Structure formats: C-alpha cells, structure tokens
Amino acid sequence: MILNKKRIRLFISIILVIIASLVALVAFKDFIFEPIVHPIAKTAQTIEFGIVTDSFRIDRDEVKPGDNLGAIFSGLGVEQRIIDKLNTYTDGVFDIRKLRSGNTFTAMMSNGGDNKLKYFVYTINDTSYVIFDFRDSLNVHTDSKEVVRNLKSLSGVINSSLWATMQQAGTDPNMAVALSNIYQWAIDFYAIQKGDSFKVIYEELSVDGKPISIGEIHSAVFAHVGKTYYAYRFEQGNVTDYFDEKGQNLRKEFLKAPLKFSRITSKFSNSRMHPILRIRRPHHGVDYAAPKGTPVHTIGNGTIIKASYAGGAGRLVAIKHNNGYTTSYMHLAGFGPGIHPGTSVSQGQIIGYVGSSGLSTGAHLDFRVYKNNVAMDPLKMESPPAFPVNEKYRADFDSVRVLYEKNLKLIK
C-alpha cells in the first residue's frame, strides 16, 4: 500500500512537470530560438588580369631588345610543339611579331613540383593585354583594364611656350596639343605671348590608380593678348563641338595655320629681301620654320588643283576652297598619301611634309592664301565659323555654359 502511494506521488510529480513545461511553451510561443552560428573568416583573394593568382608563383619581366615570343616561352619551359604552332593559336587575335622591347609580361607558374607555365600575360599598352592560357590546350584572347575618368582642373601662365608651361605644371604635355586642337581656329599658337594664361576642366584617365592620358576637355578659357577665349564642350544632335560664351562654334572654315608647332620666320610683305637672290621683291605668304618631314595640313576642305614641282617654289600643293579661296603650300619634301590633282581633301588632312625643295635656305613651309586670285595675309584672314548652337538646344547649352563658367572662375 505504501509502495503504491509512492508511485502515485511520482506520477503526479511527472504530470505537474509536464503541465509546467506546456505553460512555459505557451507563454514564450512568440520567442524564436536561433542556432548560434560562428562566421568562418574568408581569405582575401589576389586577382590580376581577371585571374585568381593565389595558387601560382608569379614571375614578372619585360621584353628585351631582340626577344621574340618563342624564345621567351622556351625559357619558361613551354613545349616546342606548341611554340612551333604559335601563329595558329594567335591567328586573328594577336600578331606575335609586334612584341615591343620594354613592354612587360607576367608569367604565372604552378606551385607544385611540375613548375609549369599556366598563364602568360603580355601587356600591349596601358589598358590592353593578351592572355595565353596554357592550362589545357593553349587558348589566346585579349582583354583590357578598366579606365577610370576623374574630373580635374588646371591653370597656368605662359612664360616661354605652352608646351614648357605644361611641363612646369607637372601635367601631361599633351594638354598643349589638346588645347591647340580646340583653339586652332581662334589662336595662333606660334604667336602666344609671355603672360598669356589658361584654365582647363578636363578628364584624367587612369588605370590601376596611375594616370595614363588626358580624356575629354569639358571647358577652357584662354587669355591671349588681352582677349579672352572661352570653349565649352557641347553635343547637339549627334555632333559634339566646342562653342564660345555666345554659342558660336570655335571650329571655323579655315584653320589658323597649316602646321601644329613651329615658328614664323618671315611674314607677308610687299618688299622682302630674298635670302638667296638677294633682291627685294614681294613675299605674299608666311614662312614657318619646322624640321624636315613635319606634316603639313590643309587649312580647309577643298580640291587639289596642283601637286607637282614648281621651279623656285619646289614641290607645291595648291588647293581650291569655297567662296573663291585658294591656298598653296611650297618647298615640300614630299606629298601626302593620295595627294594629286582632282583629289578632295578635308580640313586638317596631311597634304605634304616640310622640306627645302626649290629656292630655299633650309627646311620651312611657305604658305600662301588667295581670295579671288588676289594674295592676302594669312595671319590677318578672318574665317567664318561653322554652325552655331541650334536654337532648339539653346536652353541646354546655356545650362552647361553657366555651370562650367562658374567652375572656371573657382580655379585660381
């Protein structure tokens, strides 16, 4: 009887525990129990040229003078049967004959005992490279690095030349070329003066954090001989041009000069002492001194009416333009590709090269302009502008102009 009572008490105790547990579950029915998860630390991967390189031994070098791809591969243990068929693997992808001395390459070797070449990457230039994938059968393809565009500003005062000013400012000297391309219709860069100044807002292109070149120039202002020249980059329709503050196109019917960089040695004159004949006679042109072989560009669209040897003028190209204008380019060393009478040429096209043919004391270009067969001073010629900002884009242009004008004023 006593044993039964003990069993009854035990049974009741178990029932009470179960009831208490059920009550607790009901009371905390909204509580969500989540398992404790310990995060696993991830190892950072090293990636180059889109390849995870952690499992490779990396060798870097540069192409030496006289090197060829076959010799480089042989030194890296590539089988001769593959080297013999390199042209087949690279056909249509990369010309292995264009390997350039000084360009770098990266060899990725297996870390195992076999020490085999798995990837070979040749850097073509700052942005492009070619990958030779040796993991299975050789596969060759090209790729490029991401180019980052950063908006930059620059200002300077001319002390000697625009080129030298860029070098002193520590910027890419090609900025001088970019500015001369924009202002070539408005400013004679052979006559810029000490004290002239400029401000520029432009894109700097960089790869892997290293600046590689200049991108688009968005706006600029150039102060030259007391006059200020603005340039705002603007796209109307599908055409992009540079316009001044009034919406007039900086591009004009004629370039200011037929050479990119040189110096004037003789100006337009009705009485000049000829350097060889030693007599005074008219010199109805402008002489530009430049190294032999310097490209000569036509200042405007037109048709070649003469391209031949012309006695004292040496090799000469004459071009007929619209509105009665004719230009001639004398003492050339040779003619540009495809230049002969009847050929149509476009503004800026190379029509010849600076030389010293004919009656000449040294390499230079004698450049002449005629209006209705009457000689005129090329340095005083006014050229009509190309199309201005279209009225339907005027509001958009004004918004762009106001923004860039404000930012240019902030540049010291």
At 286-319, the pLDDT tens digits run: 889 889 999 999 999 999 999 999 988 899 999 9
Measured distance CA(292)–CA(73) in Å, rounded: 42
Measured distance CA(283)–CA(186) in Å, rounded: 24
Predicted pLDDT of residue 234: 96
Confidence of residue 14 (pLDDT cuts 50, 70, 90): low
Span of 136-150, 256-270, 271-285, 286-300 with lowest mean pLDDT: 271-285
Each residue's pLDDT tens digit, 32-72: 333 444 444 455 678 888 898 888 999 999 999 999 999 99
Domains, the chain, ordered by start: 47-144 (3.10.450.350), 148-243 (3.10.450.350), 263-380 (2.70.70.10)
Please name the residue that has the structure tokens 């042109």: 285
Percent of the chain with pLDDT over 70: 84
Specify whether the CB–CB gap between 382 and 300 falls below 8 A: no
Each residue's pLDDT tens digit, 219-260: 999 999 889 999 999 999 888 999 999 999 998 888 888 987
Predicted pLDDT of residue 136: 83
Distance separating the N- and C-terminal Cα atoms of the chain: 108
Predicted pLDDT of residue 30: 39
Predicted pLDDT of residue 354: 94
Burial class (CB in 10 A: 0-12, 13-18, 19+), 115: exposed
Each residue's pLDDT tens digit, 186-209: 887 877 888 999 999 999 999 988
391-396: average pLDDT: 94
Predicted pLDDT of residue 381: 81
Query: The whole model's pTM is what?
Result: 0.61
* DSSP string computed for 57-75: EEEEEEPPTT--HHHHHHH
User: Of 304 and 31, which is predicted with more confidence?
Assistant: 304
Helix (H, G, I), strand (E, B), or coil: what is residue 165?
Answer: helix
Residue 81 has pLDDT above 50, yes or no: yes
Predicted pLDDT of residue 337: 93
Residue 347 has pLDDT above 60, yes or no: yes
For residue 397, count other CB atoms closer than 10 A to its CB: 19
Predicted pLDDT of residue 365: 92
For residue 129, count other CB atoms closer than 10 A to its CB: 22
Residue 284 has pLDDT above 90, yes or no: no
Residue 283 has pLDDT above 70, yes or no: yes
Predicted pLDDT of residue 238: 84
The half-sphere exposure of 399 on its side-chain side, counting CA atoms within 13 A, is 5
Predicted pLDDT of residue 149: 93
